[in-house]
Amino acid sequence: MITDAKKEFIEFMMESDVLRFGDFVTKSGRNTPYFVNTGNYRTGKQIATLGKFYATLIKETVGKEFDCMFGPAYKGIPLAAGAAAALYNEFNIDKPYFFNRKEEKDHGEGGSIVGYKPQDGDRVIIIEDVITAGTAIRETMPVLQGAADVSVKDMFISVNRCEVGTTPGKTAIMEVGEDFGINVHAIVTVADIYEYLKASGKYDDMIPKMEDYMAKYCII
């Protein structure tokens, strides 16, 4: 049974044109009937609302037990900023955040890290949009490990697509857990989206497409 909070988040993504249905191709090259594009958040109200969803999940899972949060360039940057602001406004948890440049700056202060400068021993949480095949996290970890001797135990995303990674029988999130020791927490999963569509009665044409996709690529 889908919770009211998850239903609210799914509807928020749809209203923001972030969760869309149709024919798409994911970063991993898979054809999918739904797509999540957090780059479509574009107003102050939207990023403030999104930040609250992330902040609530962070508070419920790790509380204050972390030192800083990292938003991978580019889509992770506003997500981390929004989550940091909401953590303070909603829960009085004031934590620094930082992000990376795609290209290292060779003037001024230089480097590829912007915002908080991580220190050895810091417990970092990652704020991202989705994980499909796990490609992005494999690009992110060298950035963090190159910045300082940090530990990364938790990652927060909007949607867990529950998709098989490179190893048969394992999702990309399972692989991330095994390869990096990271627990991935999602606001909603593909199963939640599917249940929402079924319960709404307005998306009967999407149900078989979702079922086919989930049977082919997902481990629920």
pLDDT tens per residue across all 220 residues of the chain: 789 999 999 999 999 999 999 999 887 788 899 999 999 999 999 999 999 999 999 999 999 999 999 999 888 999 999 999 999 999 999 999 999 886 655 544 446 889 999 999 999 999 999 877 677 788 888 889 889 999 999 999 999 999 888 888 899 899 989 989 999 999 999 999 999 999 998 899 999 999 999 999 999 8
Distance CA 21, CA 159 (A): 14
Whether 214 and 34 have beta carbons less than 8 Å apart is answered as: no
**What is the helix (H) or strand (E) element at residue 172, kind and residue range?**
helix 172-180
202 catalytic per annotation = no
Which pair of structure tokens corresponds to residue 192? 């939640």
Whether 70 and 114 have beta carbons less than 8 Å apart is answered as: no
Helix, strand or coil, per DSSP, at residue 218:
strand
- Nearest to 117, CA basis, from 100, 102, 98: 98
Among residues 45, 102, 107, 202, the one annotated as catalytic is 107
105 catalytic per annotation = yes
Residue ranges of domains in the chain, CATH in brackets: 4-217 (3.40.50.2020)
- What's the half-sphere exposure (Cβ side, CA atoms, 13 Å) at 166? 7
**What is the helix (H) or strand (E) element at residue 60, kind and residue range?**
helix 44-61
What contacts 115, CB < 8 A, 6 or more positions away? 96, 97, 98, 99
Distance CA 187, CA 201 (A): 23
The Cα-based distances of 118 to 17, 74, 80 in angstroms read: 34, 19, 15
What is the reported pLDDT for 107?
Answer: 46
Among residues 105, 153, 185, 198, the one annotated as catalytic is 105
Which one-letter amino acid corresponds to residue 187? Answer: I
What angle separates helix 4-15 from helix 190-200, to the nearest 10 degrees?
90
Give the chain's end-to-end CA distance (angstroms, integer): 14
